[in-house]
Protein backbone atom coordinates (compact mmCIF):
# COMPACT_ATOMS: atom_id res chain seq x y z
CA UNK A 1 0.00 0.00 0.00
CA UNK A 2 1.43 3.32 -1.06
CA UNK A 3 0.88 6.40 1.02
CA UNK A 4 1.06 9.92 -0.31
CA UNK A 5 1.55 12.97 1.83
CA UNK A 6 0.18 16.37 0.94
CA UNK A 7 0.70 19.88 2.24
CA UNK A 8 -2.16 22.35 2.20
CA UNK A 9 -1.97 26.11 2.51
CA UNK A 10 -4.21 27.61 5.20
CA UNK A 11 -2.79 31.12 5.07
CA UNK A 12 -5.56 33.71 4.97
CA UNK A 13 -5.42 35.74 1.77
CA UNK A 14 -3.13 33.31 -0.05
CA UNK A 15 -4.27 32.49 -3.61
CA UNK A 16 -3.45 28.81 -2.89
CA UNK A 17 -5.50 28.72 0.35
CA UNK A 18 -7.26 25.37 0.68
CA UNK A 19 -5.31 23.81 -2.18
CA UNK A 20 -2.84 21.01 -1.64
CA UNK A 21 0.40 19.85 -3.20
CA UNK A 22 2.20 16.54 -2.84
CA UNK A 23 4.80 16.69 -0.10
CA UNK A 24 7.38 15.26 -2.52
CA UNK A 25 7.12 18.40 -4.67
CA UNK A 26 7.48 20.69 -1.67
CA UNK A 27 10.42 18.68 -0.31
CA UNK A 28 12.28 18.77 -3.63
CA UNK A 29 11.88 22.55 -3.70
CA UNK A 30 13.14 22.75 -0.11
CA UNK A 31 16.14 20.55 -0.90
CA UNK A 32 16.99 22.70 -3.92
CA UNK A 33 16.72 25.83 -1.79
CA UNK A 34 18.97 24.35 0.91
CA UNK A 35 21.50 23.20 -1.70
CA UNK A 36 21.71 26.73 -3.11
CA UNK A 37 21.33 28.71 0.14
CA UNK A 38 23.41 27.09 2.87
CA UNK A 39 22.39 28.05 6.39
CA UNK A 40 25.95 28.19 7.66
CA UNK A 41 25.95 31.89 8.54
CA UNK A 42 26.63 33.74 11.76
CA UNK A 43 23.06 35.10 11.63
CA UNK A 44 21.74 31.55 11.29
CA UNK A 45 23.77 30.47 14.29
CA UNK A 46 22.56 33.43 16.35
CA UNK A 47 18.96 32.58 15.49
CA UNK A 48 19.57 28.93 16.39
CA UNK A 49 21.22 29.88 19.71
CA UNK A 50 18.30 32.18 20.59
CA UNK A 51 15.74 29.47 19.76
CA UNK A 52 17.67 26.92 21.82
CA UNK A 53 17.82 29.35 24.75
CA UNK A 54 14.03 29.77 24.61
CA UNK A 55 13.51 26.03 24.39
CA UNK A 56 15.93 25.41 27.24
CA UNK A 57 14.11 27.95 29.41
CA UNK A 58 10.74 26.26 28.79
CA UNK A 59 12.16 22.80 29.45
CA UNK A 60 13.92 24.03 32.57
CA UNK A 61 10.69 25.53 33.89
CA UNK A 62 8.86 22.23 33.29
CA UNK A 63 11.69 20.27 34.91
CA UNK A 64 11.59 22.59 37.93
CA UNK A 65 7.87 21.83 38.42
CA UNK A 66 8.49 18.09 38.18
CA UNK A 67 11.45 18.37 40.56
CA UNK A 68 9.39 20.23 43.16
CA UNK A 69 6.64 17.63 42.88
CA UNK A 70 9.11 14.77 43.34
CA UNK A 71 10.72 16.51 46.32
CA UNK A 72 7.29 17.00 47.92
CA UNK A 73 6.46 13.33 47.37
CA UNK A 74 9.81 12.37 48.89
CA UNK A 75 9.25 14.55 51.97
CA UNK A 76 5.82 12.98 52.45
CA UNK A 77 7.25 9.46 52.12
CA UNK A 78 10.09 10.29 54.51
CA UNK A 79 7.60 11.64 57.06
CA UNK A 80 5.60 8.44 56.66
CA UNK A 81 8.76 6.40 57.34
CA UNK A 82 9.41 8.31 60.57
CA UNK A 83 5.78 7.89 61.65
CA UNK A 84 5.83 4.14 60.97
CA UNK A 85 9.09 3.71 62.91
CA UNK A 86 7.53 5.47 65.89
CA UNK A 87 4.44 3.24 65.64
CA UNK A 88 6.61 0.12 65.49
CA UNK A 89 8.42 1.13 68.67
CA UNK A 90 5.19 1.78 70.56
CA UNK A 91 3.08 -1.12 69.23
CA UNK A 92 2.84 -4.42 71.11
CA UNK A 93 0.53 -6.31 68.73
CA UNK A 94 2.60 -8.70 66.54
CA UNK A 95 0.08 -8.66 63.66
CA UNK A 96 0.07 -4.86 63.50
CA UNK A 97 3.87 -4.78 63.75
CA UNK A 98 4.13 -7.10 60.76
CA UNK A 99 1.76 -4.86 58.77
CA UNK A 100 3.69 -1.75 59.77
CA UNK A 101 6.96 -3.41 58.74
CA UNK A 102 5.52 -4.13 55.28
CA UNK A 103 4.33 -0.55 55.03
CA UNK A 104 7.75 0.66 56.22
CA UNK A 105 9.47 -1.42 53.55
CA UNK A 106 7.15 0.01 50.88
CA UNK A 107 7.79 3.59 52.02
CA UNK A 108 11.57 3.06 52.16
CA UNK A 109 11.50 1.72 48.58
CA UNK A 110 9.42 4.71 47.55
CA UNK A 111 11.95 7.12 49.10
CA UNK A 112 14.79 5.30 47.30
CA UNK A 113 12.89 5.40 43.99
CA UNK A 114 12.13 9.11 44.39
CA UNK A 115 15.78 9.81 45.25
CA UNK A 116 16.77 8.14 41.99
CA UNK A 117 14.23 10.13 39.97
CA UNK A 118 15.31 13.39 41.62
CA UNK A 119 18.98 12.66 40.98
CA UNK A 120 18.32 11.72 37.35
CA UNK A 121 16.25 14.87 36.75
CA UNK A 122 18.94 17.09 38.28
CA UNK A 123 21.58 15.47 36.04
CA UNK A 124 19.40 15.90 32.94
CA UNK A 125 18.83 19.56 33.78
CA UNK A 126 22.58 20.18 34.02
CA UNK A 127 23.27 18.29 30.77
CA UNK A 128 20.39 20.07 29.01
CA UNK A 129 22.03 23.43 29.60
CA UNK A 130 24.87 22.36 27.29
CA UNK A 131 22.53 21.64 24.35
CA UNK A 132 23.66 24.55 22.17
CA UNK A 133 26.43 23.41 19.84
CA UNK A 134 29.46 25.55 19.11
CA UNK A 135 29.43 27.69 15.98
CA UNK A 136 32.02 25.44 14.30
CA UNK A 137 29.83 22.37 14.80
CA UNK A 138 26.79 24.34 13.64
CA UNK A 139 28.49 25.37 10.40
CA UNK A 140 29.74 21.83 9.79
CA UNK A 141 26.22 20.44 10.24
CA UNK A 142 24.54 22.98 8.00
CA UNK A 143 27.07 22.77 5.18
CA UNK A 144 25.48 19.52 4.13
CA UNK A 145 21.99 19.84 5.63
CA UNK A 146 20.07 19.08 2.43
CA UNK A 147 21.81 15.71 2.02
CA UNK A 148 21.27 14.85 5.69
CA UNK A 149 17.57 15.68 5.49
CA UNK A 150 17.15 13.58 2.35
CA UNK A 151 18.07 10.50 4.40
CA UNK A 152 15.20 10.92 6.91
CA UNK A 153 12.54 8.22 6.47
CA UNK A 154 9.91 9.37 8.96
CA UNK A 155 7.49 11.92 7.52
CA UNK A 156 6.71 13.21 11.02
CA UNK A 157 10.42 13.84 11.72
CA UNK A 158 10.93 15.39 8.31
CA UNK A 159 7.93 17.67 8.78
CA UNK A 160 9.19 18.75 12.22
CA UNK A 161 12.67 19.59 10.90
CA UNK A 162 11.35 21.46 7.85
CA UNK A 163 9.01 23.53 10.01
CA UNK A 164 11.99 24.53 12.15
CA UNK A 165 14.17 25.34 9.15
CA UNK A 166 11.56 27.33 7.24
The whole-chain average pLDDT of the chain stands at: 85
Burial 99-127 (b: 16+ CB within 10 A, else e): ebeebbeebeebbeebeeebeebeeebee
Q: Is the pTM of this model over 0.85?
A: no
**Tens digit of pLDDT for each residue in 112-136?**
999 999 999 988 876 655 667 788 8
**Tens digit of pLDDT for each residue in 97-113?**
888 889 999 999 999 99
More confident residue, 68 or 52: 68
The Cα–Cα gap between 85 and 80 comes to: 9
Band of pLDDT at residue 53, cut at 50, 70 and 90 = confident
Amino acid sequence: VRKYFYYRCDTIGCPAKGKSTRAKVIMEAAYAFLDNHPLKTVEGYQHYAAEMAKLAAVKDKEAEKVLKSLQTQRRFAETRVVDIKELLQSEDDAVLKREYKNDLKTQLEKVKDLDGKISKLKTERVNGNDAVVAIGDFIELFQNIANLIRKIDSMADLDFIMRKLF
